[in-house]
Structure 1
Amino acid sequence: MSTSPDTDWQDARPRAISMTSMHANSFWVIGATTRDDRRKIVELEEAKSLESAGDEAQKARAALTNPKGRLAQEVSWLPGVAPKKASQAVASIEKRGLAVAYDEGLPPLARANLTAAAFELAQDVVPHQMAAFVIKLAELVDAIDLAATMLDINEDRAVAGFPEVLDEAAVEAELGDRRSAYKSAIKGALDRMESAHLIESMLLMVRQATDEGRRPAPALIDDLVDTYALEVEPILSSRAERIALEIQNAIGFAPQGKAKVSVAINTIEEMSRVWCTIAKPIQLSAKARGTTDQSSFGLGAKIRSLGITLNNDHNMIELAERTTALVRELFADLPELAEIADLDAKKLLKLKQSAIDATQRDDQWASSITFRSEVGILFKDELAISPEGVQWKGRTYPLSWITAVRWGGVRQSVNGIPTGTDYTIGIGTQIGSMVIQLKKEATYTKFLDCLWRAVCVRLIVEMTQALKAGKTLSFGSIEISDTHAYLVRSKLFGSGDPVKLDWSHVHIWSDNGKVVMGSRNDKKVSGTASYIDHWNAHILEHVVRGAFKKGVGKLSDYLT
């Protein structure tokens, strides 16, 4: 801290109270110094007893003349400070308040003791000052040196005629008691603050002491956070249960639509922000220690799970993004959870982009299969195809209903002179069929192009699936299974004999408006299906030619 101790401490000065642990120290009670011998201590106790009730003075004398009791008083006093300066420093606590923490001329232990006493008196300290003073005290505590403390104590004892302290463990134990006293003094000052200011002070303290969780805090800060965590645990636990209940409500609302789920997420977000405001000092402290606050991890995981459920089970990707963003924001100081949430966010972004791409593809597909034309000269009929279905002469068949198609053209002539081509398109469903007659090649060609994309691609897939399932399909005089063709050997008289051929012995061609299959080894074995008269002859030809080109032994392998 570079702030001057004389400029910014007015709000931190104590009010009304005038007794601190320093004023209760035996040296202060009877007005003794660390260099007074036994005789002087007795005289001071007798004089003090005449002024007021003698119990406190007698206890002080006993403590200062007993080696063990004296060590406790020395460590909690001002070791290494001249007697007059020590007396002045204690007398100034009430006036100077927490500014005593910045008395650079005093040893760390003496400054820590004076600062703790100032905390005992502190009232109405604003959060940023509270954080700064606590950090300063924690730094002073870390700077206390056992050997230097023993040297300061023993130098005064040599003057006062008391035996030296040689037991390092005894001094270390007293210093441990002092650390507990410091924590209690700070906690008392924090408890006198409004709840919101207390939480803000804790957060500022941990943020600054750990550099946002990037380095370990002084031990005193860790002790304070541990105490804070114990005290707020019932509050956090109760609030976490309410948030968990609201998460279940959000999942329950999902079948009713995004609006109700969104309202529930608003509540979850509001409650979680309050929860994390309280828990943030604990989260940062755990991060600085290389651990994870399990309560925070548990709550963050539940919110993340909500997002996963909304996306996977209800296709609510935008709401899943909201919950993921909330986890990333509120639990950023939990490295494991933050990393998982970052991955979730990337996956959701990809899913969202995929959905956008799929929508664009759907739009492109819809555009590619949409066609409308008026047919006829005097009396016009509308022929149309779109994602809604095929429309002709007031009848409409949805695309999903269509199970069979056939088409072809027949050239017409009079006395050998071509008069045009009649085009026929058949649309079949399980409940009926319709036949479309056209004269214009452009209309015929454009409609078939749309029909192929809208229906025939699906029929190809369905045909290969049926064959893979073991079905046998018939087209004119051709029957097929997944692995064989069933053709006919022609005879001069009577019907031909059926012949079963695997696909390696079959070839295919077109002739006079028909698809033809024949044996590679026997010209008398063949079968035909008319493009214009037999349902799905075009689909049959496409699948068989595609399988032959791909070199597969089963027709169902064509699309794999």
Structure 2
Amino acid sequence: MSTSPDTNWQDASPGSLSVTSMHANAFWVIGATTRDDRRKIVELAEARSLESGGDGAQKARAALTNPKGRLAQEVSWLPGVAPKKASQAVASVEERGLAVAYDEGLPPLARANLTAAAFELAQDLTPHQMAALAIKLAELVEAIDPATTLLDINEDRAIAGFPEVLDEAAVETELGDRRTAYKSAIKGALDRMESSRLVESMVLMVRQATDEGRTPALPLIDHLVDAYALEVEPILSARAERIALEIQGAVDFAPQGKAKVGVAISSIEEMSRAWCAIAKPVQLNAKARGTTDQSSFGLGAKIRSLGITLNNEHNMIELAERTTALVRELFADLPELAEIAGIDAEKLLEIKQSAIDAKRQDDEWANSITFRSEVGLLFKDALSIGPEGIQWKGRTYPLSSITALRWGGVRKSVNGIPTGTDYKIGIATENGSTLIELKKEATYTKFLDCLWRAVCVRLIVEMTQALKGGKALSFGSIEVSDTHAHLVRSKLFGFGDTVKLDWGHVHIWSANGKVVMASRDDKKVSGAASYIDHWNAHILEHVVRGAFKKGVGKLSDYLT
């Protein structure tokens, strides 16, 4: 899976330490080989005792002459390597350093044991070296074959005159102890690094070993990450509590405005990035296992919750986008949370786009209802309409305050000769009414066009809602409810009777400046409202004609 890293192995050579687990092996302690018989081992042990004193040599002799204890020494030595070459390899560990991991001339178990010894001596490894060498050792471990190891050990035992190992399971047990030793060797090298370089080494190691979380890591790396997770858990837990306090602070600041919340989020971003830098190896390895790191998920969920609160309760969509982007950036290796955050980002984008569209529509509407003109020949009055309301003769009438309208034109003539048209527009509020009188048709037409969009559309909606609510409305001699028109039967003398007609028996037209309604079956039953004199006659006509065109039996159904 990996090749020799591009690095200067002399720079990564061992430091001043001179004793490794290989140098503590019984074979090295008394200078024995795996092919020495019992008598030779005893002689070597006696000679070494005389040279160095102490009981180390005798313990080594006991370990090598006891068939059961001997197996542990054999597995942790160099099975399958000729005696002379084995002694040379161990002697050169300090000189060669971790380059031994790439010595293709040695069996996997021998290379793994020598590499672990080199890790015990290693100083000043770069994060890239550490990651590559740890993965290489993990690969060597996976290449070890218990059956081959058993065969190599029994070949040497046959020459040395020791009983063969009959149970391969015994070898597998010792190999399990070796895996623990390999993990300890790598961990020791990591512990000698500065904290930032240690974390970087672990991140690089897991990224490479899992192909960015796509495939499970080799067991040695997997166990190494578990050990790392246990050690950093107290640090991450304490920092997560501080981040949670900062998140709560951001929520508390929300009523005070975006500025303070933005500062809090900047702090959350900085603290969370530092947190996730430490947690990244654990996140990636969990992803490779098909699981989720719960500590990371919990923190990411809190940050996401902050964004939801800021958007839903305080309309701070830009700050919500920041927290969502932070979750997507830092917790991308938590598939479930990343998917949720992706959906959040899409929703926020939709909300933001909707706000932009609404703003554009508001601007377009404002432009469509904005008009200004000077009225009068000598003494001019300003007439204007816009989002802020209607301004006429120094007074302003907010659009929302207008409750009724009436308008129309009266043609004038002298001796049958047309002399022009007077245009009138009435505006009513709860506090009274005013009349706008105009001479120019262009001013009248443009003002009415804006007035229709600004006020009439609302009055149409309010009229249909009032009718739906059961109200009856009067316009001149016409009274209407949601389902009926109340018209008058004309008489030659006196007041006629009121006739109730459903809308299917009514027709409508315009004549002589009035909106007229009449019975389809009785020409004497009718009613009328003047456009220029009666409030909201135009609105009534629009609603009735619209309902007729739509073919509905209730006026309130016109807008449904």
TM range (shorter): over 0.9
Aligned to 1:484: 484
CA contact (8 A) 2:404 2:427 kept: yes
Deviations 1:143-200 (A, max 9, x none): 1111111111111111111111111211111101100011111111111111101000
Shift of 1:495: 2.2
Moved more, 110-119 or 211-220: 211-220
Shift of 1:38: 1.0
Q: Which amino acid aligns with 1:268?
A: I
CA distance in 1: counterparts of 2:301 and 2:423, whole angstroms: 64
Shift of 1:493: 2.9
Moved more, 59-68 or 374-383: 59-68
Deviations 1:516-560 (A, max 9, x none): 112222222222211111111111110110011001111111111
Shift of 1:265: 1.0
Moved more, 235-244 or 417-426: 235-244
CA distance in 1: counterparts of 2:192 and 2:511, whole angstroms: 100
Question: Does the alignment pair 1:456 with 2:456?
Answer: yes
CA contact (8 A) 1:284 1:333 kept: yes
4 and 487 in structure 1: CA distance in 2 versus 1, 3 angstrom threshold = closer
Aligned to 1:165: 165
Aligned to 1:36: 36
- 4+ runs of 1 displaced by more than 3 Å? 1-5
Aligned to 2:92: 92
CA contact (8 A) 2:120 2:188 kept: yes
Structure 1 unaligned runs (5+)?
A: none
Aligned to 1:254: 254
Aligned to 1:358: 358
CA distance in 2: counterparts of 1:300 and 1:390, whole angstroms: 52
Aligned to 2:422: 422
SS of 1:517's partner is: strand
CA distance in 2: counterparts of 1:164 and 1:472, whole angstroms: 110
Aligned to 1:298: 298
Aligned to 1:200: 200
Aligned to 1:472: 472
Question: Does the alignment pair 1:406 with 2:406?
Answer: yes
CA distance in 2: counterparts of 1:248 and 1:494, whole angstroms: 78
Q: Which amino acid aligns with 1:90?
A: V
Deviations 1:296-331 (A, max 9, x none): 122222222222222222222222221121112111
Q: Which amino acid aligns with 1:382?
A: A
CA distance in 1: counterparts of 2:186 and 2:128, whole angstroms: 14
How many residue pairs end up in the alignment? Answer: 559
Shift of 1:494: 2.7
Shift of 1:127: 1.1
CA distance in 2: counterparts of 1:4 and 1:331, whole angstroms: 30
CA distance in 2: counterparts of 1:317 and 1:4, whole angstroms: 47
Q: Which amino acid aligns with 1:55?
A: D
CA contact (8 A) 1:409 1:423 kept: yes
Moved more, 169-178 or 291-300: 291-300
Instruction: State the identity as a percent.
Output: 85
SS of 1:178's partner is: helix
Structure 2 unaligned runs (5+)?
A: none
CA contact (8 A) 2:5 2:132 kept: no
CA contact (8 A) 1:304 1:324 kept: yes
CA distance in 2: counterparts of 1:4 and 1:370, whole angstroms: 73
CA contact (8 A) 1:15 1:122 kept: yes
CA distance in 1: counterparts of 2:286 and 2:431, whole angstroms: 69
Deviations 1:42-80 (A, max 9, x none): 111111111223411111111111121111111111110
Deviations 1:358-395 (A, max 9, x none): 21111111111111101111111111001110011111
SS of 1:11's partner is: coil
CA distance in 2: counterparts of 1:458 and 1:70, whole angstroms: 97
Aligned to 1:25: 25
CA distance in 2: counterparts of 1:457 and 1:336, whole angstroms: 47
CA distance in 1: counterparts of 2:371 and 2:547, whole angstroms: 31
Shift of 1:4: 7.2
CA distance in 1: counterparts of 2:141 and 2:224, whole angstroms: 13
CA distance in 2: counterparts of 1:154 and 1:493, whole angstroms: 135
Moved more, 334-343 or 269-278: 334-343
CA distance in 1: counterparts of 2:536 and 2:427, whole angstroms: 10
Q: Which amino acid aligns with 1:302?
A: K
CA contact (8 A) 2:63 2:70 kept: yes
CA distance in 2: counterparts of 1:496 and 1:58, whole angstroms: 135
Question: Does the alignment pair 1:320 with 2:320?
Answer: yes
